[in-house]
Amino acid sequence: MSTYNVRLHRILAAPPEKVFRAFTDADAFASWLPPYGFVAKVHEMNVKTGGVYKMSFINFSTGNGHSFGGEYIEIIPNELLKYTDKFDDPNLPGEMITTIKLRAVLCGTELIATQEGIPSAIPAEMCYLGWQESLDKLKRLVEPNIPDA
């Protein structure tokens, strides 16, 4: 089965520490990662080099879902997350590698997301659409500056 890669770039009006936390806090990750129309459940999340994670996306309309997980390969707090992704579904074989690079910029954080080894069974435009939706939800999570009550 052939594979392909995607790359997305965003500027977020939030500091790198807050954006990094959105990738490493299980509740936050589950709130923004699934594309619109899906909910997520994090089953395990041990954010350290060599640590593993496992989660599921469930289609809210149908109740059908899929599970995936992987291992954290490299972590530099507030700068870099690199981890593997592998679907439980045998029809989506192989291992993907996701790299998230964060860099402080004048107005917040530059985010570059790269996903390599995506199975060709997943249409590229659907992968891009899913990432665009997820990054929109990430923006809505990290950009508000809500003071303590």
pLDDT in tens, 93-149: 889 999 999 999 999 999 999 999 999 888 999 999 999 999 999 999 999 998 887
Please tell me which residue, 48 or 146, carries the higher pLDDT value: 48
Quote the distance between the C-alpha of residue 18 and its chain's center.
Answer: 15
Residue 27 has pLDDT above 80, yes or no: yes
Helices (H), the chain: 16-24, 26-32, 124-142
Cβ neighbours of 27 (radius 10 Å): 8
pTM of the model as a whole: 0.94
Q: What is the pLDDT of residue 2?
A: 82
DSSP state of 132: H
Average pLDDT over residues 36-58: 97
Domains in the chain and their CATH numbers? 3-142 (3.30.530.20)
Please tell me which residue, 1 or 32, carries the higher pLDDT value: 32
58-82 pLDDT tens trace? 999 999 999 999 999 999 999 999 9
DSSP E strand boundaries for the chain: 3-12, 38-45, 52-59, 65-76, 80-87, 96-105, 108-119
Q: What is the pLDDT of residue 1?
A: 63
Q: What is the pLDDT of residue 99?
A: 98
Q: Which of 5-19, 28-42, 56-70, 87-101 has the lowest mean pLDDT?
A: 87-101
